[in-house]
């Protein structure tokens, strides 16, 4: 998080550039807010800061009903502008000097991208350039064309950067798959999605504490580098998620890839078999996989699911009817179950999707 005095200034001035970088808990009311919350600003002595909504909830705070920190991902305008600039020209280089010229603090950019993308902005743009280059090589078979489009001033610089990212020379790497990461905005906050040539292999909320471990696990499972990028599977996933949150899609068609132990795969297949709008208990899943005593093992496999929502681990609850645990946070689980029940009290989720 930014230094305390910087966070204090940000919320007192309702600085939108800090949305997503931290949340503030107000001791006198027991609620937590975004820095831009329109409610009356609390005294600094009554405020404590959190890096995520989950951390604020664990500390006993409730989400504010005015700024709704759990429901909509309020991405700063400068982030959208930077990503749009990269979309127009993935080979572009945006230096700290360029950021300052745009009126953007480079330190703020670094912190935001570390939090939401797991890497600094410069690392993000470099990896994205190289992933675009890799796909260009795979499509055309031309190293020279790809190197010229990469934005590197020399071929030696391009080769060295490529080897650091992919662990192989450009020629060898062009014959291998890689895990492409895309970030998708949803009413429940940003989600990171990973895809390979066969299908989707990762879908996690970006503030999940286990996210970094899940990305490392995916990298190890597929013996492939993880870099920003997109493919047809990731594009289809984004479209289907938008339809899901707008309550016009109940069954995902995007292909999935989820290697695991034989037991884990049986559990995940049973999760996929739970109908939209219904729930199952851990005991019911254990019976379905053929081992009624494996309730705890089912819970562990459920927690290790790497593809949230599409493999619907949120549909598993305690036999008492209580929600139980959820890696993305219980309020998200409650939201998803209410969405699938057709409960519109939470608002038209699809309208918030961007």
In the chain, how long is the greatest CA-to-CA distance? 64
Of 131-135, 179-183, 220-224, 239-243, the least confident: 131-135
Residue 72 lies in a domain: no
Mean pLDDT calculated for residue range 75-89 = 82
Number of compact structural domains in the chain: 3
Q: Is the pLDDT of residue 200 over 90?
A: yes
Assess whether 273 and 296 both reside in one domain. Answer: yes
Mean pLDDT calculated for residue range 91-98 = 85
179-184 sheet: strands from edge to edge: 200-205, 191-195, 179-184, 226-228
> pLDDT confidence of 352, banded at 50, 70, 90?
very low
Separation CA 207–CA 260 (nearest Å): 24
Give the per-residue pLDDT at 3: 86
Closest CA to 67 of 91, 33, 97: 33
Residue 203 lies in a domain: no
- Of the listed 64, 67, 116, 313, which one is catalytic? 313
Residue 328 or residue 292, greater confidence? 292
Give the per-residue pLDDT at 147: 55
Q: Is the pLDDT of residue 347 over 50?
A: no
User: Can you tell me which residue has the tokens 């060295």?
Assistant: 160
Q: Which of 126, 157, 173 is the last residue of a domain?
A: 173
* Residues contacting 41, CB < 8 A, separation 6+: 11, 12
**Residue 33 catalytic?**
yes
Residue 212 or residue 111, greater confidence? 111
Residue 200 lies in a domain: no
Q: Is the pLDDT of residue 104 over 50?
A: yes
Full-model pTM: 0.67
Domain that holds residue 328: 262-352
- Of the listed 33, 67, 178, 201, which one is catalytic? 33
Q: Which of 41, 63, 85 is the last residue of a domain?
A: 63
Q: Is the pLDDT of residue 339 over 80?
A: yes
Give the per-residue pLDDT at 193: 92
Give the per-residue pLDDT at 354: 25
Assess whether 286 and 330 both reside in one domain. Answer: yes
Give the per-residue pLDDT at 33: 94
Give the per-residue pLDDT at 164: 61
Q: Which of 146, 173, 200 is the last residue of a domain?
A: 173
Which long-range contacts (C-beta less than 8 Å, at least 24 apart) are formed by 235-239?
A: 237/184, 237/193, 237/195, 237/200, 237/203, 237/310, 238/182, 238/184, 238/193
Give the per-residue pLDDT at 156: 60
**Residue 116 catalytic?**
no
């Amino acid at each position: 998080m930014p230094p305390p005095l910087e966070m204090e200034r940000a919320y007192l001035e309702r600085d939108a550039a800090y949305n997503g970088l931290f949340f503030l808990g107000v001791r006198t009311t027991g609620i937590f807010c975004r820095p831009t919350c329109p409610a009356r600003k609390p005294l600094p002595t009554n405020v404590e800061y959190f890096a995520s909504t989950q951390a604020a909830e664990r500390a006993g705070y409730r989400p504010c009903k005015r700024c709704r920190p759990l429901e909509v991902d309020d991405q700063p305008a400068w982030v959208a502008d930077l990503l749009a600039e990269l979309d127009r020209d993935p080979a572009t280089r945006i230096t700290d000097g360029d950021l300052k010229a745009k009126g953007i603090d480079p330190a703020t950019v670094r912190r935001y991208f570390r939090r939401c993308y797991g890497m600094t902005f410069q690392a993000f743009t470099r990896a994205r350039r190289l992933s675009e280059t890799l796909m260009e090589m795979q499509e055309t078979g031309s190293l020279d064309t790809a190197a010229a489009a990469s934005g590197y001033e020399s071929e030696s610089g391009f080769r060295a950067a490529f080897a650091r990212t992919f662990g192989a020379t450009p020629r060898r790497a062009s014959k291998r798959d890689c895990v492409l990461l895309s970030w998708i905005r949803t009413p429940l906050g940003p989600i990171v999605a990973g895809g390979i040539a066969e299908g989707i292999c990762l879908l996690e909320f970006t503030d999940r504490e286990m996210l970094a471990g899940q990305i490392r696990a995916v990298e190890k499972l597929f013996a492939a580098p993880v870099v920003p990028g997109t493919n047809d599977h990731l594009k289809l996933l984004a479209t289907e998620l938008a339809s899901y949150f707008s309550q016009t899609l109940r069954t995902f068609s995007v292909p999935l890839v989820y290697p695991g132990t034989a037991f884990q795969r049986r559990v995940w297949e049973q999760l996929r078999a739970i109908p939209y709008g219904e729930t199952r208990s851990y005991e019911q899943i254990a019976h379905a996989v053929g081992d009624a005593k494996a309730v705890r093992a089912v819970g562990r496999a459920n927690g290790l699911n790497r593809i949230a929502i599409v493999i619907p681990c949120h549909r598993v609850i305690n036999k008492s009817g209580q929600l139980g645990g959820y890696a993305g946070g219980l309020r998200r689980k409650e939201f998803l179950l209410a969405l699938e029940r057709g409960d519109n009290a939470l608002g038209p989720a699809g309208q918030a999707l961007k």
